[in-house]
């Protein structure tokens, strides 16, 4: 290292160490929300296991209410699938940036009446919530219907006419919603949809699944043609695993521009790579077209629930058709939440973009506006530790590749002094943003491509400065890192001071 460079590093060390005297004030500034960057994914914790009175939160579902609020539902559990479970909800009034405390929508204690009197009931499980917003009800526009199950056996429904603030008493609909031979039942668990095209416009559809004797399982449609007043069973596909090459269960539905409904399901047939099957319905979900659910080799996920939504449609004035798909991208493990895109009404899938590395499982997508979408999903350092909400612009999917020039933050093809200034302008590690690789990562300062901004990126730039032989002025510039990053800078200074033995 040159004498000039050592002198600059000593100066940087002294400047940073002096700043430690006012650390309290700067830390407060560091915790303030950072300006939103122009690319990447923002992630916000919504439910944290072991908080707000529950041990674990699972099965996220969500809708955008008629007033624009986002409602994030979850099963609030004592333990596993058969433990004591309530249905809870949180609200965001600012497109998912912040979330309210939870509210209980369905309390399992309210269902003790459905168990024999005088006997201690088992842990009561209430869940599989599948919300759907009815925007076409002339009497109650924007009414939110919430089908759900008791003990994965009996089917109930509730509704809200004030965008999820209050809910009606639950009403049992098992007699019309369930085949009496089924021994397992689950509504969703994703949001339902309302058809808007053709003869069945206005129909509410809840993609559902069931189990039957002799190891059979299947997918079915729960629907209403009278704005939720009555509910019936539509299409059904039930298969015995050993006798069929597909075994559909948890599934989602998307209406296509030609009026058909596309269903994509988790496949319980272990011999099928990719673990997804799909079907279409040409009569609004009353029956599945033949052949019914068939293996989909174009999508690979582990055996887990996935979700999909309509994002753009040419018959609604958009320039293109866009359907979004979310699910873990690893074939054998619940991890790496991936967004896929179809521009040809599910005939093919492209833009396979990992928006969250690490544990990830159930998810539910939502359209926020014409440019932005969000996804509520299970995650955590250990799977199911938390439920996150991630939001991003559609145009940020599938970012352009990095040009390969180390340190070239402004992506002009060379590494020079301007890249140090570009790095300082972009480096806001407390923004909560996750970068998607390629130009998206590099132009925002994620120089080691781990999806986030951290000390490692600063050290990466420092090494590039030293290796390039550029003027030592670049190291001095690093003292200008924005205040939102000062806490990180202090740590850099302390490490440098310790290495140099500087007081």
Closest CA to 411 of 113, 39, 123, 83: 39
Query: Per-residue pLDDT averaged across 405-433, rounded?
Result: 88
Q: How many domains does the chain have?
A: 2
Distance of CA 243 to the CA centre of its chain: 35
Query: Per-residue pLDDT averaged across 406-432, rounded?
Result: 88
The pLDDT value recorded for residue 424 is 86
Q: Are residues 224 and 326 in the same domain?
A: yes
Q: Are residues 231 and 300 in the same domain?
A: yes
Rounded CA-CA distance 200/186 in Å is: 24
Stronger pLDDT, 427 or 116, i.e. the higher one: 116
The tally of CA atoms less than 13 A away on the side-chain side of residue 62 is: 35
Cα-atom radius of gyration of the chain, to the nearest Å?
26
pLDDT of 498 over the 70 cut: no
Q: Worst-scoring range by mean pLDDT, 73-77, 155-159, 183-187, 238-242?
A: 238-242
The pLDDT value recorded for residue 482 is 59
Rounded CA-CA distance 435/429 in Å is: 11
Q: Are residues 426 and 299 in the same domain?
A: no
Q: What is the largest CA-CA distance in the chain?
A: 86
Q: Are residues 87 and 193 in the same domain?
A: yes
**pLDDT tens for residues 152-203?**
999 999 999 999 999 999 999 999 999 999 999 999 999 999 999 999 999 9
Query: Per-residue pLDDT averaged across 38-54, rounded?
Result: 91
- pLDDT, mean over the chain: 87
Q: How many residues does the chain have?
A: 503
Residue 465 — very low, low, confident or very high, per pLDDT cuts 50/70/90? confident
% of the chain exceeding 70 in pLDDT:
84
Report yes or no on 31 lying in a domain.
no
Q: Are residues 265 and 209 in the same domain?
A: yes
Rounded CA-CA distance 402/468 in Å is: 19
Q: Are residues 219 and 111 in the same domain?
A: yes
**pLDDT tens for residues 198-233?**
999 999 999 999 999 988 899 999 999 999 999 999
pLDDT of 271 over the 60 cut: yes
The secondary element (H helix, E strand) that includes residue 204 is: strand 204-212
Q: Are residues 426 and 391 in the same domain?
A: no
The pLDDT value recorded for residue 14 is 41
Report yes or no on 409 lying in a domain.
no
pLDDT of 46 over the 70 cut: yes
Rounded CA-CA distance 155/135 in Å is: 23
The residues, any chain, with a CB within 8 Å of residue 283's CB and separated by 6 or more, are: 200
pLDDT of 401 over the 60 cut: yes
pLDDT of 35 over the 60 cut: no
Highest-pLDDT range among 394-408, 421-435, 463-477: 394-408
Rounded CA-CA distance 274/93 in Å is: 37
**pLDDT tens for residues 92-145?**
999 999 999 999 999 999 999 999 988 888 999 999 999 999 999 999 999 999
For residues 365 and 374, the answer to whether their CB atoms sit within 8 Å is yes
- pTM comes to 0.86
Q: Are residues 383 and 428 in the same domain?
A: no
The residues, any chain, with a CB within 8 Å of residue 158's CB and separated by 6 or more, are: 105, 106, 145, 146, 148, 167, 168, 169, 170, 171
The residues, any chain, with a CB within 8 Å of residue 219's CB and separated by 6 or more, are: 207, 208, 209, 210, 236, 237, 248, 249, 250, 251, 263, 265, 279, 293
Q: Are residues 319 and 368 in the same domain?
A: yes
- Compute how many other C-beta atoms are within 10 angstroms of the C-beta atom of residue 233: 17
**pLDDT tens for residues 280-306?**
999 999 999 999 999 998 998 999 999
Residue 426 — very low, low, confident or very high, per pLDDT cuts 50/70/90? confident
Question: Is residue 126 helix, strand or coil?
Answer: strand
For residues 219 and 277, the answer to whether their CB atoms sit within 8 Å is no
For residues 205 and 195, the answer to whether their CB atoms sit within 8 Å is yes
Structural domain containing residue 164: 40-396
pLDDT of 311 over the 50 cut: yes
């Amino acid at each position: 290292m040159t004498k000039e460079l050592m002198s600059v590093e000593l100066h940087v060390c002294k400047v940073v160490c002096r700043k430690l005297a006012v650390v309290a004030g700067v830390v407060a500034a560091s915790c303030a929300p950072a300006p939103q960057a122009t690319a990447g994914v923002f992630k916000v914790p919504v439910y944290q296991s072991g908080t707000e009175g529950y041990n674990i939160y699972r099965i996220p579902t969500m809708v955008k209410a008629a007033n624009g609020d986002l409602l994030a539902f979850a099963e609030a559990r004592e333990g596993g699938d058969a433990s004591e479970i309530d249905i809870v909800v949180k609200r965001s009034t600012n497109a998912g940036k912040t979330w309210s405390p939870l509210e209980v929508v369905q309390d399992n204690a309210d269902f003790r009446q459905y168990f024999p009197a005088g006997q201690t009931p088992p842990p009561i499980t209430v869940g599989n919530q599948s919300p759907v917003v009815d925007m076409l009800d002339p009497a109650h526009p924007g009414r939110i219907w919430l089908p759900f199950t008791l003990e994965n056996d009996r089917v109930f429904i509730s509704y809200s006419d004030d965008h999820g603030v209050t809910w009606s008493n639950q009403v049992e609909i098992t007699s019309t919603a369930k085949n009496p031979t089924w021994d397992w039942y689950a509504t969703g668990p994703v949001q339902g949809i309302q058809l808007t095209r053709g003869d069945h416009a206005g129909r509410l559809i809840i993609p559902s699944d069931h189990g039957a004797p002799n190891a059979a399982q299947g997918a079915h449609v729960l629907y209403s043609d009278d704005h939720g007043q009555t509910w019936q069973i539509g299409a059904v596909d039930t298969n015995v695993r050993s006798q069929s090459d597909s075994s559909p269960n948890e599934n989602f539905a998307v209406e296509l521009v030609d009026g058909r409904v596309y269903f994509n399901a988790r496949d319980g047939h272990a011999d099928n790579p990719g673990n997804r099957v799909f079907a279409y319905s040409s009569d609004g979900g009353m029956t599945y077209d033949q052949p019914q659910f068939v293996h989909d080799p174009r999508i690979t996920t582990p055996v887990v629930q996935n979700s999909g939504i309509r994002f753009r449609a040419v018959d609604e004035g958009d320039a293109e058709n866009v359907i979004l798909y979310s699910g873990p991208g690893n074939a054998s493990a619940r991890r790496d939440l991936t967004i896929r895109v179809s521009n040809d009404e599910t005939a093919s899938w492209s833009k396979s973009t990992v928006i969250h590395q690490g544990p990830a499982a159930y998810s539910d997508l939502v359209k926020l506006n014409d440019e932005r979408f969000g996804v509520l999903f299970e995650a955590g350092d250990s799977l199911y530790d938390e439920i996150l909400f991630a939001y991003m612009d559609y145009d940020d999917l599938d970012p352009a590749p990095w040009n390969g020039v180390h340190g070239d933050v402004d992506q002009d093809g060379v590494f020079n002094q301007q890249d140090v200034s570009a790095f300082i302008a972009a480096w806001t590690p407390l923004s909560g943003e996750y970068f998607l690789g390629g130009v998206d990562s590099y132009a925002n300062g994620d120089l080691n491509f781990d999806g986030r901004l951290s000390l490692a990126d600063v050290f990466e730039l420092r090494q590039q400065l030293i290796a390039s032989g550029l003027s030592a002025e670049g190291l001095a510039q690093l003292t200008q890192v924005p205040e939102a990053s000062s806490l990180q800078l202090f740590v850099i200074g302390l490490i440098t001071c310790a290495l140099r033995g500087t007081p």
